[in-house]
Chain A
Amino acid sequence: MATEILMPALSPTMEEGTLAKWLVKEGDTVNSGDIMAEIETDKATMEFEAVDEGVIGKILIAEGTEGVKVNTPIAVLLEEGESADDIQLSAPAASEAPVAEAPSAPAAPAAAAAVPAAPAVDIEPDYPAGTEMVQQTVREALRDAMAEEMRADEDVFLMGEEVAEYQGAYKVSQGLLDEFGAKRVIDTPITEHGFAGIATGAAFGGLRPIVEFMTFNFAMQAIDHLINSAAKTLYMSGGQMGAPMVFRGANGAAARVGAQHSQDYAAWYMQVPGLKVAMPYSASDAKGLMKTAIRDNNPVIFLENEILYGRSFEVPKLDDYTVPFGKARIWREGTDVTIVSFGIGMQYALEAADKLAEEGISAEVIDLRTLRPMDTPAIIRSVMKTNRLVTVEEGWPQGSVGNYISSVVMQEAFDYLDAPVINCTGKDVPMPYAANLEKHALITTDEVIAAVKQVTYR
């Protein structure tokens, strides 16, 4: 049967073009791959190849014709034994491309109602009342969490710079090499981009890697693999394969280490669908969240803090203590204002709440613990009670975690707000080295107190 050769689309955006030149004439035999014509798009002149073999029966569009619409028949190809006289022309072909449906994408599953009833919030404690507690540093809690999960699952391994023989640049992996050996506790060269990619590939291959970045500042060398390789593959593969793994390490400012070693990445990673993001404050949450992170079948960004590593907290003495993702912790109940924070920001939030209590202001302090998923119902529920909200974080102000919380609260609990939400953040500057400047660049307890007084009109 004679086949119509159609005007091709030669770029993602081409709708019409110029048939610049025919390189074949009627009666010529063509084979697939032979160049038949030159076609000019708005961007370039392209060669147009034959896909089938046959004889050019008729040329329908003369060379030099401009504005030839895509999918218009431009020639007819004959098979063996056919003659040009047999050709019956069809009407100009309509595009076979599917007509896009009206763009009525369904709303996200968790679409918000305009003014919600009090959201259902899980405020159950993470461990039974009466559980024995032990004092532990965040550092020890993280190590214990990794060790427990490595004992439970042979496929879990730790990889990073100085994690093995040096026992961890911040001693978080102390003792792990002795217990698990060099096969599972692996020192890498200083090549974040490469080892983050290797770990992600290992996760595709069925292992459950924990990747330590000495600090998250260095993960910027590797961020392509965290986002493009680890976070997106499950979706791109239609659910066939993903990356069950943890990227962990110190995040945010330490002390006097300057601009390139002092950035808080919470807001960056929080933005990415496919990632989960945990940022604990206390040792018990560090332990419980780390165990949950290692068991999670998705890539988890686990943001630790160098200053917090040495802090001691009470940790429940349980064989298998986990903290679920997406469940905030209410550290302190209050009635006048809600202070929401996470990670080291909690230190300022709690200090401020103590001082405010002395002045008769009752602050409710919420630790988000994970930023993705984020327990916004817990925030909404609290704001419905206090009618005032202050967010506290160390990161920069523009595009901050607090900005996102503000937008959610505005959309879901606008009528409950008695004052604009204030986002307390680090200053909009690279981190300076000088001690006095650094102190001012970070969020301070006094700033949190001032913000609370502003929203409570005191």
Chain B
Amino acid sequence: MAARKSTKKPNVSADELKKYYREMLLIRRFEEKAGQLYGMGLIGGFCHLYIGQEAVVVGLEAAAKDGDKRITSYRDHGHMLACGMEAGGVMAELTGREGGLSKGKGGSMHMFSKEKHFYGGHGIVGAQVPLGAGLAFADKYKGTDNVTFTYFGDGAANQGQVYETYNMAQLWDLPVVFVIENNQYAMGTSVQRSTKSPALWKRGEAYGIAGEEVDGMNVLSVKEAGERAVAHCRAGKGPYILEVKTYRYRGHSMSDPAKYRTREEVQKMRDERDPIEQVRDMLLTGNHATDEDLKAIDKEIKAIVNDAAEFSKTSPEPALEELWTDIYA
């Protein structure tokens, strides 16, 4: 149950590294584009960007297998792209169009994919935690060896239902990986200002749940920790907690000026710990890829994101009849 830190050199192929680079870059560029479309008035309401946190979902997806489930909060674009949901469908949901993954009825915070085992997209802080445990309950009931990645933030980590869920998840040995994406700020309130017990992963100890702290800016550290967590769950040992230390570069939502932290703090994180730059360095210094290789990836990602943006603008608004559909099954 002690926190473990990896000491050995990561064992990863050049292709895998390139894959992570590509996936993280897709999220980064997608989110930048979403920010831009928001600025143009094409996206309305709330829009929570994932920029800075890319290594978390990309690392954990690398530890997942077919049939594993995932569920998260409203900061969900990165999770969807990482599990293979179409960028165009996500972007068109942000613009509230017919081609969106929820036909324009969910918006930025509410998207789902049965095919990719992505269960939302939930807007009430902490609510996805028991829901995720329930997905794991269903897998255990059916006798599969799948696990559910249940993502929540440092803010949600103070919600009462999280601890009700810890208790039952451990009591019933549910195969759920609780992923605390600790980006250090619950909207404008830093972890230090919301708790005197800032080692969030340790709170599982009270329920007998194993866990560890993870460097969430390093995709390989996240992947390794994810593999330990998943192995624990698949072996029928119950839940596992990963507190992934990460950082969001942008405000809580688009309309947050982020005055609760200094520009220097953000810039330092970008300069020294950026998850994409870290992989880029590994690829170049390890001679796993050339500048040209990476430029080609950049170009490919740019095209995907531009296509998604274009689709999100040209897909029509949902038909008015849609107002009355999907209320009852």
Contacts and interface: CB of A to CB of B under 8 A. Distances in A.
Interface in A224-246: 224-225, 228-229, 233-242, 244
A238 B89 CA distance: 12
A157 B142 CA distance: 12
A236 B110 contact: yes
B21 interface: no
B44 interface: yes
Interface in B87-128: 100-106, 110-114, 119-124, 127
B130 A71 contact: no
B84 interface: no
A17 to B, nearest CB: 11
A35 B41 contact: no
A428 to B, nearest CB: 31
Contacts of A49: 32, 35, 250
A188 B133 CA distance: 14
B329 A201 contact: no
Given A105-B320, A237-B110, A238-B101, A197 B257 contact: no
B156 interface: no
A116 interface: no
**Main SS at interface, chain A:** loop
Contacts of B251: 46
A109 B324 contact: yes
B179 interface: no
A197 B127 contact: yes
Given A198-B137, A241-B119, A12 B44 contact: yes
Interface residues of B, number: 78
Interface string A5-38: 0111111101000000000000000001101000
A257 B40 CA distance: 58
Contact of A204 (B135, B142, B327): B135
Contacts of A458: none
B255 A43 contact: yes
B308 to A, nearest CB: 14
A194 interface: yes
A183 B141 contact: yes
Contacts of A202: 134-135, 137-138, 141
B313 to A, nearest CB: 7
A206 interface: yes
Contacts of B122: 228-229
A189 B257 contact: no
A9 B168 contact: no
B64 interface: no
Interface in B44-78: 44-46, 51, 69, 71
Contact of B135 (A96, A157, A205, A276): A205
A456 to B, nearest CB: 39
A120 interface: no
A233 B141 contact: no
B254 interface: yes
Interface residues of A, number: 72
Contacts of B139: 205
B110 A194 contact: no
Given A96-B41, A183-B141, A207-B141, A235 B36 contact: no
B259 interface: yes
Nearest to A184: B141
A107 to B, nearest CB: 9
B165 A197 contact: yes
B140 to A, nearest CB: 9
B129 interface: yes
Most buried by A among B38, B101, B131, B255: B131
A101 B32 CA distance: 29
Contact of B32 (A32, A225, A276): A32
A201 B138 contact: yes
Which 5 pairs between the two chains have the least Cβ-Cβ distance?
Answer: A201-B134, A197-B130, A8-B39, A194-B164, A205-B138
Interface of A: 6-12, 14, 32-33, 35, 41, 43-49, 51, 70-71, 95-98, 101, 104-106, 108-109, 157, 183, 188-189, 191, 193-207, 224-225, 228-229, 233-242, 244, 273-274, 276, 297-298
Interface of B: 28-29, 32-33, 35-36, 38-42, 44-46, 51, 69, 71, 100-106, 110-114, 119-124, 127, 129-139, 141-142, 160-161, 164-165, 167-168, 171, 249-251, 254-259, 263, 270, 313, 317, 320-321, 323-329
Given A183-B141, A202-B134, A225-B127, 9 more contacts: A6-B39, A9-B41, A10-B255, A51-B35, A157-B141, A189-B167, A197-B165, A201-B137, A237-B112
